[in-house]
A and B are shown apart, each in its own frame.
Chain A
Protein backbone atom coordinates (compact mmCIF):
# COMPACT_ATOMS: atom_id res chain seq x y z
CA UNK A 1 0.00 0.00 0.00
CA UNK A 2 1.57 3.26 -1.04
CA UNK A 3 0.96 6.67 0.46
CA UNK A 4 -1.81 7.54 -2.00
CA UNK A 5 -3.86 4.59 -0.76
CA UNK A 6 -4.02 6.22 2.66
CA UNK A 7 -6.34 8.84 1.23
CA UNK A 8 -9.53 8.28 3.22
CA UNK A 9 -11.72 9.77 0.48
CA UNK A 10 -10.43 7.25 -2.08
CA UNK A 11 -10.94 4.34 0.34
CA UNK A 12 -14.45 5.58 1.19
CA UNK A 13 -15.39 5.80 -2.50
CA UNK A 14 -14.15 2.23 -3.09
CA UNK A 15 -16.03 0.93 -0.07
CA UNK A 16 -19.18 2.71 -1.17
CA UNK A 17 -18.99 1.18 -4.66
CA UNK A 18 -18.27 -2.25 -3.27
CA UNK A 19 -21.28 -1.99 -0.92
CA UNK A 20 -23.56 -0.90 -3.77
CA UNK A 21 -22.47 -3.93 -5.82
CA UNK A 22 -22.79 -6.37 -2.92
CA UNK A 23 -26.25 -5.09 -1.91
CA UNK A 24 -27.43 -5.31 -5.52
CA UNK A 25 -25.94 -8.79 -6.03
CA UNK A 26 -27.61 -10.15 -2.87
CA UNK A 27 -30.82 -8.14 -3.58
CA UNK A 28 -30.79 -6.56 -0.12
CA UNK A 29 -33.26 -3.69 -0.41
CA UNK A 30 -33.60 -1.04 2.26
CA UNK A 31 -30.91 -2.34 4.63
CA UNK A 32 -30.24 -0.84 8.06
CA UNK A 33 -26.67 0.34 8.73
CA UNK A 34 -24.75 0.01 12.00
CA UNK A 35 -21.43 1.70 12.76
CA UNK A 36 -19.08 0.41 15.45
CA UNK A 37 -17.90 3.12 17.86
CA UNK A 38 -15.79 5.15 17.30
CA UNK A 39 -14.06 4.99 13.90
CA UNK A 40 -16.67 2.71 12.33
CA UNK A 41 -19.40 5.16 13.34
CA UNK A 42 -17.63 8.03 11.55
CA UNK A 43 -17.30 5.93 8.37
CA UNK A 44 -20.90 4.74 8.67
CA UNK A 45 -22.20 8.32 8.97
CA UNK A 46 -20.64 9.18 5.60
CA UNK A 47 -21.74 5.97 3.87
CA UNK A 48 -25.25 6.16 5.31
CA UNK A 49 -25.65 9.61 3.74
CA UNK A 50 -24.13 8.66 0.40
CA UNK A 51 -26.15 5.47 0.03
CA UNK A 52 -29.31 7.40 0.92
CA UNK A 53 -30.54 4.80 3.41
CA UNK A 54 -33.97 5.50 4.87
CA UNK A 55 -33.58 3.83 8.29
CA UNK A 56 -31.73 5.96 10.85
CA UNK A 57 -28.14 4.89 11.48
CA UNK A 58 -27.47 2.51 14.37
CA UNK A 59 -24.47 2.65 16.70
CA UNK A 60 -22.78 -0.15 18.62
CA UNK A 61 -20.32 0.19 21.47
CA UNK A 62 -19.03 -3.34 21.88
CA UNK A 63 -17.24 -2.65 25.20
CA UNK A 64 -19.68 -4.89 27.09
CA UNK A 65 -19.07 -7.75 24.64
CA UNK A 66 -15.30 -7.65 24.39
CA UNK A 67 -13.40 -10.85 25.10
CA UNK A 68 -10.39 -9.04 26.56
CA UNK A 69 -12.41 -7.53 29.40
CA UNK A 70 -10.74 -9.71 32.07
CA UNK A 71 -7.34 -8.29 31.05
CA UNK A 72 -8.20 -4.72 30.25
CA UNK A 73 -11.18 -3.97 32.50
CA UNK A 74 -13.88 -1.47 31.73
CA UNK A 75 -13.30 0.89 28.84
CA UNK A 76 -13.59 4.30 30.48
CA UNK A 77 -15.05 5.86 27.33
CA UNK A 78 -17.89 3.43 26.83
CA UNK A 79 -20.94 4.87 25.03
CA UNK A 80 -24.49 3.64 24.71
CA UNK A 81 -25.36 1.33 21.86
CA UNK A 82 -28.35 2.59 19.94
CA UNK A 83 -30.18 0.54 17.34
CA UNK A 84 -33.21 2.66 16.43
CA UNK A 85 -34.88 -0.08 14.37
CA UNK A 86 -36.12 -3.65 14.79
CA UNK A 87 -33.30 -6.11 14.18
CA UNK A 88 -35.56 -9.14 13.65
CA UNK A 89 -35.66 -10.05 9.97
CA UNK A 90 -33.61 -6.99 8.89
CA UNK A 91 -30.80 -6.87 6.38
CA UNK A 92 -27.94 -5.12 8.07
CA UNK A 93 -24.77 -3.42 6.85
CA UNK A 94 -22.17 -3.50 9.61
CA UNK A 95 -19.38 -0.94 9.25
CA UNK A 96 -16.02 -0.72 11.01
CA UNK A 97 -12.88 1.24 10.23
CA UNK A 98 -10.10 -1.36 10.47
CA UNK A 99 -10.51 -5.14 10.36
CA UNK A 100 -7.56 -6.58 12.26
CA UNK A 101 -7.90 -9.53 14.69
CA UNK A 102 -11.61 -9.98 14.00
CA UNK A 103 -12.48 -9.82 17.69
CA UNK A 104 -14.35 -6.52 17.46
CA UNK A 105 -16.57 -7.89 14.69
CA UNK A 106 -17.17 -11.08 16.69
CA UNK A 107 -18.30 -8.94 19.65
CA UNK A 108 -20.47 -6.74 17.41
CA UNK A 109 -22.21 -9.79 15.89
CA UNK A 110 -22.92 -11.17 19.37
CA UNK A 111 -24.39 -7.85 20.47
CA UNK A 112 -26.57 -7.54 17.34
CA UNK A 113 -28.00 -11.01 17.98
CA UNK A 114 -28.96 -9.94 21.51
CA UNK A 115 -31.21 -7.33 19.87
CA UNK A 116 -32.86 -9.84 17.56
CA UNK A 117 -32.36 -12.23 14.63
CA UNK A 118 -31.27 -10.35 11.53
CA UNK A 119 -31.92 -11.76 8.04
CA UNK A 120 -28.48 -11.07 6.49
CA UNK A 121 -25.45 -9.07 7.60
CA UNK A 122 -22.95 -7.49 5.20
CA UNK A 123 -19.62 -6.48 6.72
CA UNK A 124 -17.92 -3.43 5.24
CA UNK A 125 -14.55 -2.08 6.45
CA UNK A 126 -12.44 0.84 5.33
CA UNK A 127 -9.16 -1.06 5.77
CA UNK A 128 -8.52 -4.80 5.81
CA UNK A 129 -5.15 -5.54 7.40
CA UNK A 130 -3.34 -8.79 8.20
CA UNK A 131 -3.36 -10.31 11.67
CA UNK A 132 -6.68 -12.15 11.87
CA UNK A 133 -7.04 -14.33 14.98
CA UNK A 134 -10.53 -15.70 14.30
CA UNK A 135 -12.17 -16.68 10.99
CA UNK A 136 -14.00 -13.46 10.11
CA UNK A 137 -13.73 -11.79 6.70
CA UNK A 138 -15.23 -8.62 5.29
CA UNK A 139 -17.66 -8.65 2.35
CA UNK A 140 -16.69 -5.16 1.19
CA UNK A 141 -13.44 -3.29 1.74
CA UNK A 142 -12.01 0.12 0.90
CA UNK A 143 -8.41 -1.09 0.76
CA UNK A 144 -5.94 -3.69 2.04
CA UNK A 145 -2.65 -3.22 3.84
CA UNK A 146 0.10 -5.58 5.02
CA UNK A 147 1.68 -4.41 8.26
CA UNK A 148 4.39 -5.89 10.41
CA UNK A 149 3.14 -7.41 13.65
CA UNK A 150 2.86 -4.71 16.31
CA UNK A 151 2.31 -1.92 13.79
CA UNK A 152 -1.09 -0.25 14.08
CA UNK A 153 -3.18 1.71 11.66
CA UNK A 154 -5.69 4.07 13.23
CA UNK A 155 -8.47 6.27 11.97
CA UNK A 156 -8.77 9.69 13.58
CA UNK A 157 -11.67 12.07 13.05
CA UNK A 158 -14.39 12.89 12.53
CA UNK A 159 -13.17 16.14 10.91
CA UNK A 160 -11.00 15.46 9.03
CA UNK A 161 -10.96 11.67 8.72
CA UNK A 162 -7.33 10.57 8.59
CA UNK A 163 -5.43 7.31 8.73
CA UNK A 164 -2.21 7.23 10.70
CA UNK A 165 0.35 4.49 11.29
CA UNK A 166 1.95 3.96 14.62
CA UNK A 167 3.71 1.33 16.67
CA UNK A 168 1.65 -0.80 19.07
CA UNK A 169 -0.91 0.25 21.66
CA UNK A 170 -4.54 1.18 21.37
Chain B
Protein backbone atom coordinates (compact mmCIF):
# COMPACT_ATOMS: atom_id res chain seq x y z
CA UNK B 1 0.00 0.00 0.00
CA UNK B 2 1.56 3.29 -1.05
CA UNK B 3 1.50 6.34 1.15
CA UNK B 4 -0.97 8.25 -1.01
CA UNK B 5 -3.36 5.33 -1.39
CA UNK B 6 -3.43 4.78 2.37
CA UNK B 7 -3.89 8.48 3.07
CA UNK B 8 -6.60 8.71 0.42
CA UNK B 9 -8.74 6.05 1.96
CA UNK B 10 -8.16 7.22 5.57
CA UNK B 11 -9.12 10.85 5.10
CA UNK B 12 -12.18 12.67 3.83
CA UNK B 13 -11.87 15.24 1.07
CA UNK B 14 -11.60 17.93 3.75
CA UNK B 15 -8.76 16.05 5.49
CA UNK B 16 -10.71 14.61 8.40
CA UNK B 17 -10.14 11.14 9.75
CA UNK B 18 -12.58 8.61 8.26
CA UNK B 19 -10.73 5.34 8.85
CA UNK B 20 -7.62 4.86 10.99
CA UNK B 21 -5.46 2.26 9.26
CA UNK B 22 -1.87 3.45 9.39
CA UNK B 23 0.21 6.39 10.61
CA UNK B 24 1.85 6.55 7.19
CA UNK B 25 0.72 9.62 5.27
CA UNK B 26 -0.90 11.39 8.24
CA UNK B 27 0.29 14.90 9.04
CA UNK B 28 1.92 16.13 12.23
CA UNK B 29 -1.15 18.36 12.73
CA UNK B 30 -3.53 15.40 12.65
CA UNK B 31 -1.39 13.32 15.02
CA UNK B 32 -1.23 16.31 17.37
CA UNK B 33 -5.00 16.73 17.19
CA UNK B 34 -5.48 13.08 18.14
CA UNK B 35 -3.23 13.59 21.17
CA UNK B 36 -4.98 16.84 22.15
CA UNK B 37 -8.37 15.12 21.95
CA UNK B 38 -7.04 12.18 23.98
CA UNK B 39 -5.85 14.66 26.60
CA UNK B 40 -9.45 15.86 27.01
CA UNK B 41 -10.78 12.32 27.24
CA UNK B 42 -8.22 11.49 29.92
CA UNK B 43 -10.27 13.81 32.17
CA UNK B 44 -13.44 11.75 31.79
CA UNK B 45 -12.12 9.28 34.40
CA UNK B 46 -12.43 12.12 36.95
CA UNK B 47 -16.21 12.05 36.55
CA UNK B 48 -18.57 10.05 38.77
CA UNK B 49 -20.11 8.75 35.57
CA UNK B 50 -17.05 7.78 33.54
CA UNK B 51 -18.87 8.14 30.25
CA UNK B 52 -19.64 10.83 27.72
CA UNK B 53 -22.67 10.57 25.39
CA UNK B 54 -20.74 11.20 22.17
CA UNK B 55 -21.39 7.85 20.45
CA UNK B 56 -24.76 7.10 22.05
CA UNK B 57 -26.76 4.81 19.79
CA UNK B 58 -23.73 3.78 17.73
CA UNK B 59 -22.58 0.20 17.47
CA UNK B 60 -18.90 -0.70 17.43
CA UNK B 61 -17.89 -4.19 16.35
CA UNK B 62 -14.61 -5.60 17.63
CA UNK B 63 -13.65 -7.94 14.82
CA UNK B 64 -10.68 -9.89 16.12
CA UNK B 65 -9.31 -12.56 13.83
CA UNK B 66 -6.28 -12.81 16.09
CA UNK B 67 -6.16 -13.12 19.87
CA UNK B 68 -5.66 -10.04 21.97
CA UNK B 69 -6.64 -9.14 25.49
CA UNK B 70 -5.22 -5.69 26.15
CA UNK B 71 -6.02 -4.12 22.79
CA UNK B 72 -9.52 -5.59 22.57
CA UNK B 73 -10.47 -4.68 26.14
CA UNK B 74 -9.15 -1.12 25.85
CA UNK B 75 -11.01 -0.64 22.55
CA UNK B 76 -14.12 -2.04 24.24
CA UNK B 77 -13.74 0.24 27.27
CA UNK B 78 -13.07 3.22 24.99
CA UNK B 79 -16.26 2.54 23.05
CA UNK B 80 -18.28 2.06 26.24
CA UNK B 81 -16.95 5.30 27.76
CA UNK B 82 -18.19 7.02 24.61
CA UNK B 83 -21.61 5.39 25.27
CA UNK B 84 -21.46 3.18 22.16
CA UNK B 85 -22.78 -0.37 22.15
CA UNK B 86 -20.05 -2.94 21.62
CA UNK B 87 -20.19 -6.29 19.91
CA UNK B 88 -17.19 -8.58 20.37
CA UNK B 89 -16.81 -11.15 17.66
CA UNK B 90 -14.33 -13.90 18.19
CA UNK B 91 -13.73 -15.05 14.65
CA UNK B 92 -11.93 -18.22 15.68
CA UNK B 93 -15.26 -19.60 16.91
CA UNK B 94 -17.54 -17.91 14.38
CA UNK B 95 -18.83 -18.45 10.88
CA UNK B 96 -15.51 -17.84 9.10
CA UNK B 97 -14.35 -21.07 10.67
CA UNK B 98 -17.36 -22.63 8.92
CA UNK B 99 -16.07 -21.31 5.60
CA UNK B 100 -17.82 -17.92 5.33
CA UNK B 101 -15.65 -15.42 3.45
CA UNK B 102 -14.42 -12.21 5.08
CA UNK B 103 -16.62 -10.10 2.81
CA UNK B 104 -19.69 -12.17 3.62
CA UNK B 105 -18.99 -11.67 7.32
CA UNK B 106 -18.71 -7.91 6.73
CA UNK B 107 -21.91 -7.77 4.65
CA UNK B 108 -23.84 -9.61 7.35
CA UNK B 109 -22.63 -7.23 10.03
CA UNK B 110 -23.47 -4.24 7.83
CA UNK B 111 -26.98 -5.63 7.50
CA UNK B 112 -27.22 -5.36 11.29
CA UNK B 113 -26.62 -1.59 10.95
CA UNK B 114 -23.34 -1.31 12.78
CA UNK B 115 -21.24 1.86 12.58
CA UNK B 116 -17.61 0.95 13.16
CA UNK B 117 -15.31 -2.03 12.78
CA UNK B 118 -12.22 -2.43 14.94
CA UNK B 119 -10.18 -5.02 13.08
CA UNK B 120 -7.27 -7.18 14.11
CA UNK B 121 -6.00 -9.68 11.58
CA UNK B 122 -2.85 -11.76 11.07
CA UNK B 123 -2.77 -10.71 7.41
CA UNK B 124 -1.09 -7.39 6.54
CA UNK B 125 -3.56 -5.12 4.75
CA UNK B 126 -6.70 -6.77 6.15
CA UNK B 127 -8.06 -3.53 7.65
CA UNK B 128 -7.39 -1.67 4.36
CA UNK B 129 -9.26 -4.38 2.48
CA UNK B 130 -12.28 -4.06 4.74
CA UNK B 131 -12.14 -0.24 4.60
CA UNK B 132 -12.24 -0.36 0.80
CA UNK B 133 -15.35 -2.53 0.83
CA UNK B 134 -17.53 -1.28 3.70
CA UNK B 135 -20.65 0.84 3.30
CA UNK B 136 -19.88 4.58 3.22
CA UNK B 137 -21.13 5.33 6.74
CA UNK B 138 -18.87 2.75 8.40
CA UNK B 139 -15.44 3.58 9.84
CA UNK B 140 -12.69 1.00 10.11
CA UNK B 141 -9.97 1.16 12.76
CA UNK B 142 -6.89 -1.01 12.44
CA UNK B 143 -6.11 -2.78 15.72
CA UNK B 144 -3.09 -4.53 14.21
CA UNK B 145 -2.64 -6.21 10.82
CA UNK B 146 0.11 -8.78 10.35
CA UNK B 147 3.53 -7.18 10.41
CA UNK B 148 2.20 -3.99 8.85
CA UNK B 149 0.74 -1.51 11.32
CA UNK B 150 -0.74 -0.97 14.77
CA UNK B 151 -1.51 2.74 14.64
CA UNK B 152 -3.44 3.16 17.91
CA UNK B 153 -0.56 1.52 19.82
CA UNK B 154 1.85 3.98 18.20
CA UNK B 155 -0.46 6.88 19.11
CA UNK B 156 -0.72 5.84 22.75
CA UNK B 157 3.06 5.50 22.84
CA UNK B 158 3.70 8.99 21.48
CA UNK B 159 0.95 10.33 23.76
CA UNK B 160 2.79 8.75 26.72
CA UNK B 161 6.09 10.27 25.54
CA UNK B 162 4.50 13.71 25.15
CA UNK B 163 3.03 13.53 28.66
CA UNK B 164 6.37 12.48 30.16
CA UNK B 165 8.69 14.71 28.13
CA UNK B 166 6.46 17.63 27.17
CA UNK B 167 7.22 17.34 23.45
CA UNK B 168 9.30 15.62 20.81
CA UNK B 169 12.01 18.06 19.70
CA UNK B 170 15.52 16.93 20.65
CA UNK B 171 14.47 13.48 21.85
CA UNK B 172 16.45 10.32 21.10
CA UNK B 173 14.29 7.20 21.11
CA UNK B 174 15.55 3.62 20.99
CA UNK B 175 13.23 0.83 19.87
CA UNK B 176 14.74 -2.43 21.05
CA UNK B 177 13.99 -5.99 20.04
CA UNK B 178 12.13 -7.86 17.37
CA UNK B 179 11.77 -5.08 14.77
CA UNK B 180 11.34 -7.60 11.96
CA UNK B 181 8.04 -9.04 13.15
CA UNK B 182 6.75 -5.88 14.80
CA UNK B 183 3.84 -3.86 13.40
CA UNK B 184 4.16 -1.75 16.54
CA UNK B 185 7.73 -0.72 15.65
CA UNK B 186 6.75 0.22 12.11
CA UNK B 187 3.89 2.46 13.27
CA UNK B 188 6.03 3.99 16.03
CA UNK B 189 8.80 4.86 13.57
CA UNK B 190 6.30 6.68 11.32
CA UNK B 191 4.75 8.52 14.26
CA UNK B 192 8.04 9.54 15.91
CA UNK B 193 9.56 10.80 12.66
CA UNK B 194 6.37 12.67 11.71
CA UNK B 195 6.32 14.34 15.14
CA UNK B 196 9.95 15.40 14.71
CA UNK B 197 12.07 13.59 17.29
CA UNK B 198 15.81 14.07 16.97
CA UNK B 199 16.67 10.43 16.32
CA UNK B 200 14.95 7.05 16.17
CA UNK B 201 17.24 4.08 16.78
CA UNK B 202 16.39 0.45 16.25
CA UNK B 203 18.42 -1.97 18.33
CA UNK B 204 18.30 -5.68 17.48
CA UNK B 205 20.34 -8.63 16.32
CA UNK B 206 20.76 -8.64 12.52
CA UNK B 207 18.31 -11.53 12.21
CA UNK B 208 15.51 -9.43 13.76
CA UNK B 209 15.99 -6.29 11.63
CA UNK B 210 14.36 -5.97 8.21
CA UNK B 211 16.70 -5.46 5.26
CA UNK B 212 17.25 -1.76 4.39
CA UNK B 213 15.70 -0.65 7.69
CA UNK B 214 17.55 2.71 7.35
CA UNK B 215 15.08 3.61 4.60
CA UNK B 216 12.42 4.02 7.30
CA UNK B 217 14.42 6.91 8.77
CA UNK B 218 16.09 5.07 11.65
CA UNK B 219 19.64 4.40 12.79
CA UNK B 220 20.29 0.67 13.31
CA UNK B 221 22.37 -0.64 16.22
CA UNK B 222 23.38 -4.23 16.87
CA UNK B 223 24.78 -3.57 20.35
CA UNK B 224 22.37 -2.62 23.13
CA UNK B 225 24.98 -0.72 25.20
CA UNK B 226 25.76 1.47 22.20
CA UNK B 227 22.12 1.86 21.21
CA UNK B 228 21.05 3.05 24.66
CA UNK B 229 23.68 5.75 24.98
CA UNK B 230 22.07 9.11 25.85
CA UNK B 231 18.55 8.10 24.84
CA UNK B 232 15.51 9.79 26.44
CA UNK B 233 13.05 6.98 25.70
CA UNK B 234 13.49 3.21 25.44
CA UNK B 235 10.70 1.22 23.81
CA UNK B 236 11.15 -2.50 24.42
CA UNK B 237 9.37 -4.84 22.05
CA UNK B 238 8.04 -8.24 22.92
CA UNK B 239 9.96 -11.13 21.47
CA UNK B 240 7.20 -12.64 19.32
CA UNK B 241 8.07 -16.22 20.07
CA UNK B 242 4.86 -17.45 18.45
CA UNK B 243 5.76 -15.77 15.14
CA UNK B 244 9.27 -17.09 14.86
CA UNK B 245 10.87 -20.48 14.41
CA UNK B 246 14.13 -21.39 16.03
CA UNK B 247 16.30 -19.69 13.41
CA UNK B 248 15.99 -16.10 14.63
CA UNK B 249 17.63 -16.27 18.05
CA UNK B 250 19.99 -18.87 19.51
CA UNK B 251 18.03 -19.14 22.79
CA UNK B 252 15.90 -16.96 25.06
CA UNK B 253 18.67 -17.03 27.64
CA UNK B 254 21.29 -15.83 25.21
CA UNK B 255 18.90 -13.17 23.87
CA UNK B 256 18.50 -11.75 27.38
CA UNK B 257 22.30 -11.78 27.82
CA UNK B 258 22.76 -9.64 24.72
CA UNK B 259 19.51 -7.65 24.30
CA UNK B 260 17.66 -7.86 27.62
CA UNK B 261 17.13 -4.51 29.37
CA UNK B 262 18.80 -4.45 32.80
CA UNK B 263 19.54 -1.70 35.34
CA UNK B 264 23.21 -1.76 34.40
CA UNK B 265 22.53 -1.26 30.71
CA UNK B 266 20.00 1.48 31.38
CA UNK B 267 22.77 3.53 33.03
CA UNK B 268 23.98 4.33 29.52
CA UNK B 269 20.76 6.24 28.84
CA UNK B 270 19.90 9.72 30.10
CA UNK B 271 19.12 9.86 33.84
CA UNK B 272 15.50 10.84 33.18
CA UNK B 273 14.95 8.06 30.62
CA UNK B 274 11.50 6.44 30.47
CA UNK B 275 11.01 2.76 29.63
CA UNK B 276 8.04 1.63 27.57
CA UNK B 277 6.70 -1.73 26.41
CA UNK B 278 3.51 -2.45 24.44
CA UNK B 279 2.91 -5.63 26.47
CA UNK B 280 2.50 -8.38 27.20
CA UNK B 281 6.01 -8.44 28.64
CA UNK B 282 8.25 -11.51 28.70
CA UNK B 283 9.98 -10.97 32.03
CA UNK B 284 13.57 -12.11 31.97
CA UNK B 285 13.63 -12.45 28.16
CA UNK B 286 13.53 -8.88 26.84
CA UNK B 287 13.22 -6.95 30.10
CA UNK B 288 14.33 -7.42 33.70
CA UNK B 289 11.50 -7.34 36.24
CA UNK B 290 13.31 -4.66 38.26
CA UNK B 291 13.03 -2.34 35.24
CA UNK B 292 9.47 -3.26 34.30
CA UNK B 293 8.27 -2.56 37.85
CA UNK B 294 10.74 0.27 38.53
CA UNK B 295 10.34 4.06 38.72
CA UNK B 296 11.37 4.71 35.10
CA UNK B 297 8.78 2.32 33.72
CA UNK B 298 5.66 3.92 32.21
CA UNK B 299 4.27 0.59 31.01
CA UNK B 300 1.03 0.79 33.01
CA UNK B 301 0.53 4.46 32.06
CA UNK B 302 0.64 3.26 28.46
CA UNK B 303 -2.32 0.98 29.19
CA UNK B 304 -4.31 3.83 30.79
CA UNK B 305 -3.47 6.17 27.90
CA UNK B 306 -4.57 3.50 25.45
CA UNK B 307 -8.19 4.08 26.44
CA UNK B 308 -8.08 7.87 26.01
CA UNK B 309 -6.25 7.60 22.67
CA UNK B 310 -8.74 5.04 21.36
CA UNK B 311 -11.65 7.24 22.50
CA UNK B 312 -10.07 10.10 20.53
CA UNK B 313 -9.61 8.10 17.34
CA UNK B 314 -13.09 6.55 17.55
CA UNK B 315 -14.84 9.86 18.10
CA UNK B 316 -12.86 11.60 15.37
CA UNK B 317 -13.48 8.86 12.80
CA UNK B 318 -17.19 8.47 13.54
CA UNK B 319 -19.28 10.96 11.56
CA UNK B 320 -16.34 12.34 9.63
CA UNK B 321 -18.84 14.15 7.46
CA UNK B 322 -18.49 17.66 6.08
CA UNK B 323 -18.37 20.53 8.56
CA UNK B 324 -21.79 22.10 8.88
CA UNK B 325 -22.54 25.48 10.31
CA UNK B 326 -24.71 24.98 13.35
CA UNK B 327 -25.82 27.49 15.96
CA UNK B 328 -24.47 26.90 19.45
Contact = CB atoms under 8 A, between A and B. Distances in A.
Given A64-B54, A114-B49, A114-B51, A69 B327 contact: no
A69 B321 contact: no
Interface in A30-79: 61, 63-65, 68-74, 76, 78-79
A82 interface: yes
B283 to A, nearest CB: 35
Interface in B36-73: 36-37, 39-44, 46-49, 51-54
A74 B38 CA distance: 12
Contact of B326 (A61, A71, A78): A71
B5 interface: no
A103 B328 CA distance: 6
Contacts of B33: 76
Contact of A83 (B42, B46, B53): B46
A81 B37 CA distance: 12
Nearest to B29: A76
A68 B53 CA distance: 12
Given A63-B40, A64-B53, A76-B33, A170 B328 contact: yes
Contact of A74 (B39, B47, B51, B316): B316
Chain A interface size band reads 35 or more
B43 A81 contact: yes
Interface string A148-170: 00001000000000000000111
A170 B324 CA distance: 10
B43 A80 contact: yes
A83 B327 CA distance: 26
Interface string B17-44: 0000000000000000100110111111
A169 B51 contact: no
A63 B323 CA distance: 15
A131 B327 CA distance: 10
Contacts of A114: 47-49, 51-52
A100 B46 CA distance: 29
Contact of A73 (B16, B40, B47): B16
Q: Which residue among B33, B44, B327 has the maximum number of chain A CB atoms within 10 Å of its CB?
A: B327
A74 B323 contact: no
Chain B interface size band reads 20 to 34
Given A78-B40, A114-B47, A116-B48, A100 B327 contact: yes
A72 B40 contact: no
B206 interface: no
A101 B328 contact: yes
Contacts of A91: none
A31 B44 CA distance: 23
Nearest to B16: A73
Contact of A65 (B37, B53, B323): B53
A39 B301 CA distance: 33
A70 B44 CA distance: 20
B47 A71 contact: no
A73 B321 contact: yes
Nearest to A36: B328
Contacts of A61: 40
Contact of B40 (A69, A79, A83, A100): A79
B208 interface: no
19 contacts: A61-B40, A64-B52, A65-B53, A68-B326, A71-B324, A72-B323, A73-B316, A73-B321, A80-B40, A80-B43, A82-B43, A113-B49, A114-B47, A114-B52, A115-B47, A115-B48, A116-B48, A131-B327, A170-B325
Given A81-B43, A114-B48, 15 more contacts: A61-B40, A64-B54, A65-B52, A71-B321, A71-B324, A73-B321, A74-B37, A80-B42, A100-B327, A113-B49, A114-B47, A114-B52, A115-B48, A152-B327, A170-B326
